[in-house]
Structure 1
Amino acid sequence: MRKALLIKFGAIGDVIMLLPAARALYESGAHIDWVCGSMVQPLLECYSWISLLPADDRKILTGNPWERMSSIADLWRRVSGERYDLCATLYYDDRYKFLSLPVRAAKKLTLSRSSRDRLLIPGRNHADEYARILLGKDDGWSPESIAPIRPDRLPGPPPLPEKSRTRVALVPAGASNMLRQQALRRWSAESYAELAKVLLARGWEVVLLGGPDDAWVRPYFESLAVKDCIGALTLPQVIMACDQCDVVVSHDTGPLHLAGLSHAAIVGLFGPTDPGNFLPRRPYVTGIWGGVNFACRPCYDGRNFAPCKHNGCMEQISTQLVMREIDSLLERKAAGLASPPRLILPEV
């Protein structure tokens, strides 16, 4: 049997967008070993066809010199005895090549900004691009051909009680990783709170989703009768919680991609990042891209943002527009109408 080694610690969205390419490798007859970080390990454990090689990514990326070398040496011990047909280190930074130094593989590849064959091309969905790079195909993909790959063994029980009315999940924080905050991705907490008030006034249920580092956003909702699940759920439980919601509203952050693995409709909010790269590619997903007529949009280059102080592209997205798209998705879903992923722009 052919064997492939994928080295991708995180982040959540990157891992989820890599999964369709990994699945295609598996379906072509390859055994999949995946070097992952601690944050995404609980998610990848839900895929029966992936063999995990967990690594202490926190020590490797941010530890002192001794912690880094010790963690890398531990990883080397686990991969050095295997022989692979493909070893893919899916980073641009050449320092990550060090991780695969002892790996014996017929082919090794990394991402490259100087080679089109190994570049995630701007404007193309990263799921498509990972598939192109790993599978060597560049003949185009339809939205349906590269849809998110749902886990095949989610644990139970469901994290939310059975719903008796329309339920909407909001993701008001996030947009950070182990190395940096990316606050420019966020729709403001004030806007999420305003949206929550509108939803509650309709008699709908509102659920807040987020990670342990997102507790700072709670004061914006303290006077509202929302279900606060921030920091309380594992990554698989976030997917199941989204399954129990009718719609998820999120800016470009990890839970947006987790929602893409669920059955819920999605309204994704974008500004400095290109939704063409990141919007989940499945039915009942709408992306709203703020910043119409902004010459600087998108400003994210894959690592950094422009030195922006007012985040005007995200502020251009109104609560009224988000509500309109929530209603549109729910109406189409209730009527059983086809609803491929779509992108809209605010009217200015």
Structure 2
Amino acid sequence: MGKSKTIKKILAIKLADLGDTLAITPALRALREAYPDATIEVLTTNGGAVLEDLPYLNRVIYFNKYLFDEPRQALKPNNLWVAFRFLLSLTLARYDTVILFHHLTLRFGALKYAALLLSSLAKRRVGLDNGRGWFLNLKIADRGFDAATERAYWLEVVGALEAKSDNTRPEIPLNEKHYRVAAELRDSIIGQEKTLLVAIHPGSGGYSLARRWQPSGFAGVADALVERYGAKIALVGGAEEHELCAQVIKQMRFSDKVVNLAGKTGVREVTAFLGMCDLFIGNDAGLMHLAATAGAPVVGIFGPTNPQAWQPYGTQGLELKSETKAGRSGSIIVRAELELPCRPCLYRGMELGSRTGCAPRPCLSEIKVEQVVTAAQTLLEKRHIHCLILGDMTEKA
């Protein structure tokens, strides 16, 4: 089937936070390459601000999905009026193609997406189907979260429109100002010294706090890197994670070698900064994906979430089922060395699972400082960065 000449105005829907939104950028790039003259717009949330200034897009439309997260919330009179006006605007926009970049994990969620797609009156309604996609007329089989990375899944979806690509590299536009701010920040930490600079993110965003490894673990890793490599540590995160980063610092032996940057930069500035770091270590969260996108070597710490779906770009050490042409090998995933049949408990198979996890959380608590330091050392040695002292100087979390 050749490319349709009638595809002229496309709406892509991704109502998600930073990391998940970043995962659709390879698909958007493929769409633009396939349809250079089409109007391409994206419907997203505030987390989709990473899409601003992408050269593939004509417009980014923001929508407050939290007004409609639950039936009781959605049925409030004012919210119903907001929904009616917005759905009418989709009808009047005259899209010929609407692409849904979501798994249909919940029945109520499927109803919300059905309202968006059907109100558009688009001739083509494209997306993944797990049995709940009755409103789609161009369906791609959803094989579950274990079958492919999110980036690869969304390339499959646009591939149904003959927008073919195997380039899974995510993208965020950066300009000279972002790099200048990042360079000033880097220089304020290490000056003109040839000092190892490591960024650590102990948070996980607001969606699921259950993804967080314990602060004492990050403190132990930071101390080990300072002791073995003479590293300087930059703790990064959102403003709401500033206190969490402070907790990490309080538990460090070398607290004079760390700076708390949480909440002090915008998304693009911190992305440029991460690209200037020698290493990034963090939980499965948006900053992990930004670091990989920026080209930093990444140690990703995974507990209740699914690394087959959300592994950072360039991951090594996993059996990759769908992303074998990443083009770089700069990320390592660390998981607890246990057989845990309950893992992952968030986004498992075709279901949402649990955002809060279990109280003991062995999938995270059993991750040892030595595991993370070893992963960091592996990535650093690939860049010919060697430790200053010999022997195992790490401590258990």
TMscore range, shorter length: 0.7 to 0.9
- Distance across 1 between alignment mates of 2:365 and 2:165: 33
**Corresponding residue of 1:264:** 296
Deviations 1:274-305 (A, max 9, x none): 21111122221111232532222222235233
Correspondent of 2:234 among 183, 207, 218: 207
Displacement of 1:67 in angstroms is 4.5
- Distance across 1 between alignment mates of 2:120 and 2:21: 21
Q: Residue 155 and residue 81 in structure 1: after superposition, are their counterparts in 2 closer, same or farther (change >3 A)?
A: farther
Residue 359 of structure 2 is aligned to residue 312 of structure 1: no
TM value normalised by structure 1: 0.84
Matched residue pairs, number?
Answer: 327
**Corresponding residue of 1:82:** 93
**Corresponding residue of 1:158:** 181
Given that 2:26 and 2:155 are in contact with CA atoms closer than 8 Å, whether structure 1 keeps it comes out as yes
Identity of aligned residues (%): 21
Correspondent of 2:34 among 28, 38, 54: 28
- Distance across 2 between alignment mates of 1:72 and 1:155: 38
**Corresponding residue of 2:214:** 188
Residue 95 of structure 2 is aligned to residue 49 of structure 1: no
Q: Residue 268 and residue 141 in structure 1: after superposition, are their counterparts in 2 closer, same or farther (change >3 A)?
A: farther
**Corresponding residue of 1:342:** none
Residue 145 of structure 2 is aligned to residue 122 of structure 1: yes
- Distance across 1 between alignment mates of 2:198 and 2:160: 40
Residue 158 of structure 2 is aligned to residue 134 of structure 1: yes
Q: Residue 253 and residue 56 in structure 1: after superposition, are their counterparts in 2 closer, same or farther (change >3 A)?
A: same
Residue type of the partner of 2:363? Answer: C
- Distance across 2 between alignment mates of 1:256 and 1:287: 11
Residue 348 of structure 2 is aligned to residue 303 of structure 1: no
Residue 201 of structure 2 is aligned to residue 171 of structure 1: yes
Displacement of 1:316 in angstroms is 2.7
Q: Residue 331 and residue 23 in structure 1: after superposition, are their counterparts in 2 closer, same or farther (change >3 A)?
A: same
Q: Residue 213 and residue 74 in structure 1: after superposition, are their counterparts in 2 closer, same or farther (change >3 A)?
A: farther
Residue type of the partner of 1:76? Answer: L
Correspondent of 1:97 among 109, 114, 125: 114
Displacement of 1:150 in angstroms is 4.1
- Distance across 1 between alignment mates of 2:18 and 2:294: 15
Of residues 294-303 and 203-212 in structure 1, the stretch that sits farther from structure 2 once superposed is 294-303
Q: Residue 134 and residue 49 in structure 1: after superposition, are their counterparts in 2 closer, same or farther (change >3 A)?
A: closer
Displacement of 1:77 in angstroms is 4.9
Q: Which runs of 5+ in 2 are unaligned?
A: 1-6, 134-138, 315-327, 386-397
Displacement of 1:106 in angstroms is 1.6
Bigger Cα Rg: 2
**Corresponding residue of 1:326:** 376
- Distance across 2 between alignment mates of 1:141 and 1:188: 39
Q: Which runs of 5+ in 1 are unaligned?
A: 336-348
Secondary structure of the corresponding residue to residue 309 of structure 2: helix
Correspondent of 2:276 among 224, 244, 248: 244
Q: Residue 9 and residue 251 in structure 1: after superposition, are their counterparts in 2 closer, same or farther (change >3 A)?
A: same
Secondary structure of the corresponding residue to residue 105 of structure 1: coil
Task: Compute the RMSD of aligned alpha carbons.
Answer: 2.7
Residue 334 of structure 2 is aligned to residue 288 of structure 1: yes
Displacement of 1:74 in angstroms is 4.7
Deviations 1:34-83 (A, max 9, x none): 01112322x11141322211223344547672442344345335433333
Secondary structure of the corresponding residue to residue 153 of structure 2: helix
Given that 1:212 and 1:230 are in contact with CA atoms closer than 8 Å, whether structure 2 keeps it comes out as yes
Of residues 129-138 and 242-251 in structure 1, the stretch that sits farther from structure 2 once superposed is 129-138
Of residues 29-38 and 93-102 in structure 1, the stretch that sits farther from structure 2 once superposed is 93-102
**Corresponding residue of 2:390:** none
TM value normalised by structure 2: 0.74
- Distance across 2 between alignment mates of 1:38 and 1:195: 33
Displacement of 1:334 in angstroms is 3.6
**Corresponding residue of 1:221:** 249
Q: Residue 246 and residue 46 in structure 1: after superposition, are their counterparts in 2 closer, same or farther (change >3 A)?
A: farther
Runs of 4+ in 1 over 6 A off after TM superposition: none
Given that 2:345 and 2:357 are in contact with CA atoms closer than 8 Å, whether structure 1 keeps it comes out as no
Residue type of the partner of 2:61? Answer: L
**Corresponding residue of 1:148:** 170
Secondary structure of the corresponding residue to residue 309 of structure 1: coil
Displacement of 1:137 in angstroms is 8.7
Secondary structure of the corresponding residue to residue 80 of structure 1: helix
Q: Residue 273 and residue 233 in structure 1: after superposition, are their counterparts in 2 closer, same or farther (change >3 A)?
A: same
- Distance across 1 between alignment mates of 2:225 and 2:333: 19
